Homo-oligomer: A and B are copies of this chain.
């Protein structure tokens, strides 16, 4: 673990880029959910976990990951237009729901203003058998120290 202060892996930043916008001149909505997932990955990494131990990949079959964490639900609410080069602060609030399920809330702020928030819920499944199972220990620990 590279830090013991949860703020170090739960308070992130993002700058909006041109390709995130659409012809209306503000962000095209689903990019907010992409940013949320990327913020989660960054959080795990800053906490000290390795993506290769969490995310399955065909490339390294030898290091086969027995537990996948597919998304079962996501949502987002938009309060103010988000524009190119906006500096967004992202605050993550992870929550363990049961032994095999957790969610992360993401609050997006521009200065003092909350401009959007989102939520992504994951459920652990056994990669091969495709049935529900317990969360990986690493994720459990990240959830515990993050609450």
Contacts and interface: CB of A to CB of B under 8 A. Distances in A.
Determine the main DSSP class of A at the interface with B: mixed
Given A24-B56, A30-B30, A74-B30, A38 B51 contact: no
B78 A70 contact: yes
A26 B70 contact: yes
Contact of A41 (B17, B72, B75, B76): B17
A56 B56 CA distance: 14
Nearest to A118: B74
Interface of A: 15, 17-19, 21-26, 28-30, 33-34, 37-38, 41-42, 45, 50-52, 55-61, 68, 70-78, 81, 83-85, 120, 127-128, 130
